[in-house]
Amino acid sequence: MATIWESVVGQVRAVEQLQHAAVSPVHAYLLVGTEGCGKDEASRAFAAMLLSGSDSPTERINELVMRGAHPDVHEVRRDGASILKEQAEEIIRIASITPSEGARKVIIVHEVHLMAPATAAKLLKTVEEPPSGVFFIMLADQVDESLSTIASRCLTVNFGLLDNADIEAALLHSGVAPHLAKAAALSAAGSMSRAKLLASDPQLAQRREFFANIPRRIDGTGATVAAIVEQILALIDAAVEPLSNQHAQEVVDTEKTLALMGVKRGGKKMLEDRHKREIRRYRTDELRSGLTAIASIYRDELARNPNIRRPEAYVTAINRLHEGMRRLSLNVNEAILLRDLIWSLPSPSADAALQFVLSENAE
């Protein structure tokens, strides 16, 4: 029998915790897991059960909540680099208003790990002692020291990284071709939302092959490095198109529902700001996936060839690639990072040729 929890992939333990919690809920929950792990979908399903007491997808309340259209479920997203103090004031105001339809109201706060300290301090009392019938569902990618005060007032539910097998099975169930489902799952880095986009991306296999061939193309010339970087950025631009198309449809849908839902005029701008962040995150994930593919080539060379001429250069290359992945999250210039990184990488083809010459001379 279908339930509202079917949109949450591979998180059996977390779903069971939330299903049990809905029977006798506490005032605040903190759902922790990486982007695309299913916590967003779970927060809506949990909110729906808190309002309706049912997990049926055909229940009117549940249908509205899952579509983001129920007047007593409010989703708060950061407006800028973090959730600001002004947004905390809006959250407190929303919490103080009597529910529109029933006796309960749910406030879902996204990306709490990016909440400014002043915001957390301002929200603390409301989260700890909300008005009767008000429930908070806080979402965070991770819990660090800055989030400890808010976290201590919540019941924490952890979401693990999705297995490739779970992602692949979900894609197959939704009608994705087997070869596309497998490729998307392998490149999704544990994110279901990313996997869905990749599954609709006909250039995925081409990008994977392109990145895997980069070490073999390196010849020590700046011209080759420049060409590789230009091609990488062009591929990433093309990879973002499915997400951009999805965003365009969201904008159209939002414009149609703004008046009906009573969303303030800034709602569209907040949506556009969120889209910019999602594009940036997607580009970063794509580049990380590509750098991982390059690192795997050097790792395979080390494992395949015990007599490799410069093993330390390959180890250094792998470390530099992982450092490059880390730096991508710092909003660095992509072209400069890629240029410097690729310029520093060794050429397996050149090393193999030199090793052959040296072995011939030795004979």
pLDDT digits (tens, 9 = 90+) for 275-288: 888 888 889 888 98
Task: Give the model's confidence band at 350: pLDDT under 50 very low, under 70 low, under 90 confident, else very high.
Answer: low
Q: Is 34 found in the same domain as 53?
A: yes
Q: Is 216 found in the same domain as 141?
A: no
Q: Is 360 a member of any domain?
A: no
CB-based contacts of 258, cutoff 8 Å, min separation 6: 265, 267, 268
In terms of pLDDT, which residue wins out, 118 or 105? 105
Say how far apart CA 187 and CA 180 lie, in whole Å.
11
Render 109-124 in DSSP notation, one character per residue: E--GGGB-HHHHHHHH
Check pLDDT > 70 for residue 318: yes
> Which segment of 47-61, 112-126, 266-280, 292-306 scores lowest on mean pLDDT?
266-280
Q: Is 314 found in the same domain as 216?
A: yes
Q: Is 40 found in the same domain as 130?
A: yes
pLDDT digits (tens, 9 = 90+) for 50-62: 999 999 988 999 9
pLDDT digits (tens, 9 = 90+) for 128-170: 999 999 999 999 988 888 788 889 999 999 999 899 999 999 9
pLDDT at 195: 87
Say how far apart CA 77 and CA 251 lie, in whole Å.
16
Say how far apart CA 104 and CA 98 lie, in whole Å.
9
What's the rounded mean pLDDT across residues 220-224?
Answer: 92
Task: Give the model's confidence band at 359: pLDDT under 50 very low, under 70 low, under 90 confident, else very high.
Answer: very low
Q: Is 206 a member of any domain?
A: yes
Which residue's structure tokens are 């556009």? 272
Which of 49, 39, 16 shows the shortest CA–CA distance to 139?
A: 39
Q: What angle do CA 272, 277, 279 make, to 5 degrees?
A: 90
> Which segment of 77-81, 109-113, 160-164, 263-267 scores lowest on mean pLDDT?
263-267
* DSSP for residue 83: B
pLDDT at 5: 94
pLDDT at 267: 54
User: Which range marks the domain in which residue 351 is found?
Assistant: 201-355
Backbone angles phi and psi of 218, in degrees to 5:
-65, 125
Q: Is 347 a member of any domain?
A: yes
What is the three-class DSSP state of 298?
A: helix
The tokens describing 14, both together, are 């977390």
Residues 66-96 as b/e (b if ≥16 CB within 10 A, e otherwise) read: beeebebbbbbbbbeebbbbebbeebbeebe
Check pLDDT > 60 for residue 88: yes
CATH at 40 = 3.40.50.300
Q: Residue 32 pairs with which residues in a beta bridge?
A: 140, 158
The tokens describing 65, both together, are 């909540």
Q: How many domains does the structure of the chain reveal?
A: 3
Say how far apart CA 209 and CA 230 lie, in whole Å.
16
Q: Is 45 a member of any domain?
A: yes
Q: Is 362 a member of any domain?
A: no
